[in-house]
Structure 1
Amino acid sequence: MAWPAPGSAADDAVIPLRAAIGAAWENDPVRQELAANTQSADARAAAAKSWFAGGPILTASYSDDRAAGTNLGYVTWQGGVSVPLWLPGQGTATEHLAQADAKAALSRVEVERMAIAVRVLEQGGAAILAERRIIAARMIERSMERLAAMTSRAKTHGETTGVEAQAVNAQLADTRSELAQAEEDQARIRAELLSLLGVAGLPDILSAQTPWLARIPTNNLQALENQDPRVRSAHRAVIAAQEDMHLARSSFMPNPEVGIDAIDQGQYGSPWATQVGVNIRVPLPSDVTHTPILSAAQNRLASATRAEVEARRAVHNELVQVLARVQAAREMLFQSQTSASQTMQRADSLERSWQLGETPLIEVLRARTEAWRSLLTLNQAEVAWHSAIIRVCISTGTLP
């Protein structure tokens, strides 16, 4: 059975699969967020190369004896500037954490690209199924209209009963109702696909063929798991959590400060005096401040480790499932082709037999209904076969 090529209308042009995925990626709002995350992590890594742990701190004070009521000319001006210092290893740990966060953000970009590719595949397959469903419904509608016309003529000549005519008209009404529902579903799916891609068109799902599978090293699932963007992203998150742990251990106390002070003071009956000195401020370590920082880093590392284990398990199960789906989809396609061909031939044979008065009309209607269902099953099996090939390629990073 030959189906018309999808994308016959002007706004349904077939888009190559890679081009469709690229268009969806450019149209994805999450891409902007991930790009901002990467840029901010890079900026933190650059800032961590500073000589000091923070910006300079300015202090100033002024005092005199007028507030006390004596007003003898005691005046003191004092000012200073100090900078916080890195603790041993803290600056390097801060830089490494920012770099690890930047790499983790980049790995999340690949995960999002994979998710976009899967969405394009699902929406594209749904759009093709909706179009095939309309085509099949119109084919059955024409068959029912022909039966209705023949039944009407036979009733006029007294060759059939009104009950049979009513059965045909009822089946025709059901077919038209299915057609209307299919057209509504198609409009909805097309709108969703346009929103996803940002351009009108259908992804070329049906271009996927068996030779695509030759690229996949199915005998080494471990290597495929390690290449999966979700596993790489989870592993990058673990590395970032480990760097956060190093930073927490290096930040065992508040940062000390060192600076210079200048004092200018005047006293009653004495000349003005100016002093310049060095000030050092060293907060002592305390579990009250360090323990929450260390605990937060430990929790982050534990959560990232758990997420990596879960990601590896999920990816392993998915790879096994999609590889099995390819085999099952191939067999389902073959069987559905046979079923659709046989049911269509049976429906045609019963219609000819009914015209000769050898078969009740109700059997013809049942045969046409079975043929309709077989056509739908064939559509689903064909799209599932091509989609299974693409899904394996997406999961293994081998999309042509």
Structure 2
Amino acid sequence: MAFGGAPSRAQTSATASSPLTLQQAFVQAWERQPEARALAQRRDASQALRQAAQAWTPEPAALEASVRSDRFNARQDARELEFGVAVPLWLPGERRRTQDLADALARGTDAQALLAQWHLAQILRDAWWTLRRDQEELAAADTRWQASQRLSADVARRVKAGELSKADQHQADGAAATAQGEYAQLRAKALASEQSLRALLGVALDAPLQVAEDAEAEPASDAAGLPHPQLQSLQAKSLAAKSAAALARVQSRGNPELTLLQTRERAARGEANSGSVTIGLRFPLGSSDKHRAAIANAGAEQIEAEVAAEREQERLQASVRSARAALSAARTVLATSSERARLAEESRSFFDKSFRLGETDLPTRLRVELEAATAQREQARARIEVHHAIATLRQALGLLPGQP
């Protein structure tokens, strides 16, 4: 999932008949980010710095021209014309240090873009799996609502036949109404989650949005060895500060200048013109407090970045351990909830049959129905939580959607 050559939205957007995958959603969301829009310009700026560091002079050459005349005093028609060029020169080691700094800043541009992608992946994964969880719970609530309606219709038929009382009808209708209300609440919750994802992807309200049921693969055990975007950013910052400090140390004074002047002069009217060529070298002496401050600031930034990278490494390792533990716990919850859902479904089948035979009263039948619906809903939530835990682990490892 490189940020350099992302496919266009036309290639990644889901159509009305094709569900949107998480990887496609990530590419589509990244195209909308301000960091993605400005990345090309930042890379152009980095390239310009590299080209400037490879130039023969630290600054462009300057043209010089002057005229001296006695027109306003002696009026002997004496004059002197002088023109030439001044060429700044690199200090010893300055050019190579400048190139190193330009390279470090260019790597920092890519590292910052990768870090922005990593932050976006966190937001997208949370929005994605929140929607998937709400949709699963909504489907479970719909199943309960439909089952309660069928039970209410069965009770109404048996009340009419004189097998059950009017009170039983009220209880069955009340259970169906409760299931309908729960469905309405979960539907509003799922719609709110969908709107959050639409806003992230830039999908209009009247445009179809269907998310795929795919899940991210659990990362390999050696994935922790991959460079984390957070660490890459801090390492790039440290390298840039180190290069800046090295450059500041060689820039102990201003750049020397080589000058080449051509002079044409005439002492008085009627005399012949004479000319001369002057070659000069301007070499500033000594250093300044500004130079010492630049070295100190660059050194401080390097120390801050290096220490921050060490602390971040510790935090990321703890985050990975926590994510692995959460994934293990989520799998345990899924296993137990699946077993509970299986047992609850079997019990519902038993009590449904006994209720039809008149061996079980309605309150017991309603209780068993509620337990089965609750177990199914918890199983659906646990299944999504496992996928979300895998996504959280991949996020902690610094893996973007679509990366192996």
TM-score normalised by L of structure 2? 0.78
Matches within 5 A, 1:185-264: 185=192, 187-189=194-196, 191-192=198-199, 194-195=201-202, 201-206=210-215, 208=217, 212=218, 215-217=220-222, 224-225=224-225, 227-264=227-264
**Deviation at 1:149?**
3.1
Aligned-partner residue type, residue 73 of structure 1: D
**Deviation at 1:315?**
1.7
Please give the alpha-carbon distance, in whole angstroms, between the structure 1 residues aligned to 2:263 and 2:359. Answer: 120
Tell me the matched-pair count.
380
- The verdict on how the C-alpha distance between 1:47 and 1:97 changes in structure 2, with shifts beyond 3 A counting, is same
- The verdict on how the C-alpha distance between 1:383 and 1:55 changes in structure 2, with shifts beyond 3 A counting, is same
Identity over aligned pairs, percent: 21
**Deviation at 1:110?**
4.0
Matched residue of 2:254: which SS?
coil
Residue 41 (1) aligns with residue 46 (2): yes
Q: Is the 8 A contact 1:87 1:251 kept in 2?
A: yes
**Deviation at 1:136?**
1.1
Stretches of structure 1 that go unaligned for 5 or more consecutive residues are 1-8, 219-223
Deviates more, 1:92-101 or 1:335-344: 335-344
Residue 52 (1) aligns with residue 61 (2): no
- The verdict on how the C-alpha distance between 1:79 and 1:370 changes in structure 2, with shifts beyond 3 A counting, is farther
Please give the alpha-carbon distance, in whole angstroms, between the structure 1 residues aligned to 2:270 and 2:293. Answer: 53
Matched residue of 2:222: which SS?
coil
Please give the alpha-carbon distance, in whole angstroms, between the structure 2 residues aligned to 1:370 and 1:321. Answer: 32
Aligned-partner residue type, residue 188 of structure 2: Q
Deviations 1:94-148 (A, max 9, x none): 0011112222333344444544555554343233223312211211111222244
Matches within 5 A, 1:301-320: 301-320=302-321
Q: Is the 8 A contact 1:226 1:232 kept in 2?
A: no
Deviates more, 1:148-157 or 1:131-140: 148-157
Name the structure 2 match of 1:5. Answer: none
Name the structure 1 match of 2:379. Answer: 378
**Deviation at 1:67?**
4.7
Residue 141 (1) aligns with residue 142 (2): no
Q: Is the 8 A contact 2:238 2:306 kept in 1?
A: yes
Q: Is the 8 A contact 1:333 1:378 kept in 2?
A: yes
- The verdict on how the C-alpha distance between 1:96 and 1:185 changes in structure 2, with shifts beyond 3 A counting, is same
Deviations 1:256-287 (A, max 9, x none): 11111233344445724433212332333332
**Deviation at 1:175?**
2.7
Stretches of structure 2 that go unaligned for 5 or more consecutive residues are 1-13
Matches within 5 A, 1:341-360: 341-346=342-347, 356=358, 358-359=360-361
Matches within 5 A, 1:1-400: 11=16, 13-14=18-19, 21=26, 30-67=35-72, 71-152=75-156, 159-161=165-167, 164=171, 167-168=174-175, 170-185=177-192, 187-189=194-196, 191-192=198-199, 194-195=201-202, 201-206=210-215, 208=217, 212=218, 215-217=220-222, 224-225=224-225, 227-268=227-268, 271=271, 272-346=273-347, 356=358, 358-359=360-361, 361=363, 364-365=365-366, 367-393=368-394, 395=397, 399-400=403-404
- The verdict on how the C-alpha distance between 1:267 and 1:171 changes in structure 2, with shifts beyond 3 A counting, is same
Please give the alpha-carbon distance, in whole angstroms, between the structure 1 residues aligned to 2:299 and 2:94. Answer: 17
Aligned-partner residue type, residue 54 of structure 1: E
Deviates more, 1:224-233 or 1:198-207: 198-207
Please give the alpha-carbon distance, in whole angstroms, between the structure 2 residues aligned to 1:375 and 1:102. Answer: 53
**Deviation at 1:323?**
1.7
Please give the alpha-carbon distance, in whole angstroms, between the structure 1 residues aligned to 2:97 and 2:91. Answer: 10
Please give the alpha-carbon distance, in whole angstroms, between the structure 1 residues aligned to 2:319 and 2:17. Answer: 32
Please give the alpha-carbon distance, in whole angstroms, between the structure 2 residues aligned to 1:365 and 1:10. Answer: 42
Please give the alpha-carbon distance, in whole angstroms, between the structure 2 residues aligned to 1:189 and 1:300. Answer: 38
Aligned-partner residue type, residue 292 of structure 1: A
Please give the alpha-carbon distance, in whole angstroms, between the structure 2 residues aligned to 1:370 and 1:110. Answer: 47
TM-score normalised by L of structure 1? 0.79
Matched residue of 1:79: which SS?
strand
Please give the alpha-carbon distance, in whole angstroms, between the structure 1 residues aligned to 2:173 and 2:384. Answer: 36
Matched residue of 2:252: which SS?
coil
Q: Is the 8 A contact 2:19 2:209 kept in 1?
A: no
Aligned-partner residue type, residue 249 of structure 1: R
